[in-house]
Every structure is written in C-alpha cells, then in structure tokens.
Amino acid sequence: MILWTALAAAALVPLPASARVAIAPHAATLDRALYLDSPAHPLAQQARPLSVDPAATVWAVVMTAAILLVFWSARAILNRRGLRATARGIAWIGLALSALTLVQHATSPGLMYWYFHPLARKATPFGPFVNRNDLATWLLMAIPLVAGYGIARFKSRQRQDGGPIDLEESVDATTLWLVASVLLMLATVLVAASRSGITGTVIGLASLMWLARKRLGKSGWMWLAAILFAILALATTYANWGALASRMDETLAVGIGGRRAVWEQTWPMVRDFWVSGVGVGAYERAMTVYQQAPHAFYINHAHNEYLQLLAEGGALLAVPAAIAACVVMWQATRLLRGDHSPVFWIRAGAASGLLAAAVQGIWDTGLRLPANAVLFALLAAIAVHDPRVRADR
C-alpha cells in the first residue's frame, strides 16, 4: 500500500510530452478536449502530469495516506488492547446513526439534518449521507461486526467445561443494546431500499453464518440462525414494502441497465489508459470527455470499485492493490483458523463486513467516502490484528 500511494502521487509529477505520450498515448487527445491551449501535435505539448485532474489526485492521495495511518494505528492498538472497546464503539455509532436516519427520513426525507439541501437534484439523503447506497456501505460493514461481537460476549460467558451458557448473566443491558443496534441497522438498510446494500448485507450475514458452522455445532448454529432471523423479521416491520417492491421490480425489469451504460462508457477510458490510468480521483473529469451524448445523466463515478480503480490507476495501481487485498485475505484466513478464543467471532464479523463491502463494490463505489473508508480500515485492522506479535516482543 505504501507503493500504491507512492505510484498514485507520482501521477502528479509533470512529465515531458515525449515521456507522457509513451506512457499514455491517448493523453494528448484528452488534453485537446480539456485544455483550450493544448497544441494539435502531441509532442508540442508542455510538460504535464499524468493525472488529468491534479487537484482531485492530491485530495485522493492525502485521503489514502490518512486511511492507511488509521489502519496501521488501529492494528497496533488492537495488538495490545481495545478490541472489544472498538467493537462497542462501532455498535454505538451504528445505533445512533440508524436512529437519526430513520427519524430524519420519516420527517424530512429531502434534507440532511432537517436543514441542508443536497447539491444533487435527484439526491436521496439518508442521515449524514447524500446517497442511500453510501449509507448502506457503512451499515453492511458494521452489522456483521456487531453481530460477531454479540456472539463473542455469549461465548465468553460459557463455562470452561463446555457447559451451557448462563442466559441470566448473558442477557444484560449490553446485550440488549447490541441487539437493538443490529436491529436498527438492518431496518435502516431496508428503509434505504439500496439494492446493492441489501445484497451486501445478506452476503455479510451469510459469511458469518458460514464461519460459525463448525464452531457452534448443529444446535448452536440453529440457535444463531433463529436469533438472526428473528431480528431480521423485526427489522422488516420498519420497511416501506411499496418502495422496496418498486425497486426490486425495476431490477427485474431493467436489470443492470443503468449500471451497464456507465460501465460501457468507462471501458474505453480503461483501454486508452490501461498502463497508468487517468489519475486517482480524476475519473469524474475524464468522463466529461468519454461520456456519450445525449447526456441524460451526469456520470461522476463508475458504479464499480474495481472498474474505477482500473480507469484511474491502470495496471500500475491495480496490481499492487490486488496484491494487498490477497495478503489481507490470506492473513485474515490464517488468523481465523488459529483463533479458538471468543475473539474469533469479532474477527469473523470484521472479515464478513469486508466481504460484504467487496461484493457491494461490484455495483457501487461507497468506499470512496471518508467515513466508509475509515470503517473499512478499522475492520481490516480487526481482521488481521495479532496479539501474539506484541506478546512476543
């Protein structure tokens, strides 16, 4: 990730026209569309960076560095202590966020915080998020983590001889508000009617259930499934079934038609800049050239995390990103297999949240919001933290 950040920042360095054309042959065509003073001959161009929107790239690189610092700091802290406190903090934030969002959407659906008008004409504000899908990104990551933390609290109260869990001791005030947090977050996902969010949430909970299949035994697994099903059933009472059915009917009738149109218009950008991309964060500006007429809507992101990564960073950034993702998956899998303590459930919840976000990324780019990126970094730190590293030192 250090290499990824350095390569992303390197796109800000002005390059001579000959070097720039050698790396990105179609850069001159893009320059002529974006800059009035761009000469007709590519080699007569003045020195320019590879990024077609340097200001956006600076912002993206700074945010990436900040998120990496959050990840490394969280992992170092969790290696010593603070895992349960971190999970409780995320549960409290999820509870407050969901309650605020449900009340705000019911009383003032067109405004943020009952006061601010979103700049986008067709915005669908939910709580502090301008877009329903971005809100769902945060929730689908938090739900499996909080559910995993709740299971860990139950397992930590089980007798060492393998006896039954003391239900009277386990069902306390903390357990009740953890259940309330999961319930309200699930309800908010349903109220938001984000199709990608609902899909990601289902995948996240299914992943948690899959990881639990050998740790709980058949009876324990059935109890967990019954509890999650009961919470989900309660959450559905908050849903607007008319709006949800309309969204699902649209999906069945149109499929991914809208997304497909965006993807089809993004692929030429990927092909033209397959080596270095147009610059991290520069997709929106480059798409003003690549978007086909008529402009019935304005494309500001690719509605696919992976496609946008290819468009903005090309193979130069896609390769190190893929390596980092594979290393995190390998590390998380290794630690899950070797963890036989109640912490396993918190780790499993974090890994399931990461998987849910990865699945939603097929249709949306919610991780580009700082709030969602911070939570993603925290979940990654929880999934790969290793207390034995600190103990060995």
Q: Are 190 and 241 in contact (CB under 8 A)?
A: no
Query: pLDDT value at position 168?
Result: 61
Mean pLDDT to the nearest integer, 158-181:
70
Mean pLDDT to the nearest integer, 373-377:
97
The token pair at 368 is: 């580009």
Query: pLDDT value at position 256?
Result: 58
78 vs 149: CA distance, rounded Å:
15
| pLDDT score of 392 more than 60 | no
The token pair at 262 is: 């965006």
3-state secondary structure of 282: coil
Query: pLDDT value at position 237?
Result: 85
Question: Where exactly are the structural domains of the chain?
Answer: 2-392
**Single-letter amino acid, residue 81:** R
Q: Is the peptide bond before 294 cis (omega within 30 degrees of 0)?
A: yes
Mean pLDDT to the nearest integer, 81-91:
91
239 vs 235: CA distance, rounded Å:
7
Mean pLDDT to the nearest integer, 193-210:
92
Confidence tier at 318 by pLDDT (50, 70, 90): very high
Confidence tier at 254 by pLDDT (50, 70, 90): low
Mean pLDDT to the nearest integer, 304-333:
95
- Choice among 25-39, 91-105, 129-143, 341-355 with the minimum mean pLDDT: 25-39
Query: pLDDT value at position 81?
Result: 81
- Choice among 190-199, 241-250, 268-277 with the minimum mean pLDDT: 241-250
Give the residues across from 116 on adjacent strands: 112
Confidence tier at 86 by pLDDT (50, 70, 90): very high
Query: pLDDT value at position 393?
Result: 41
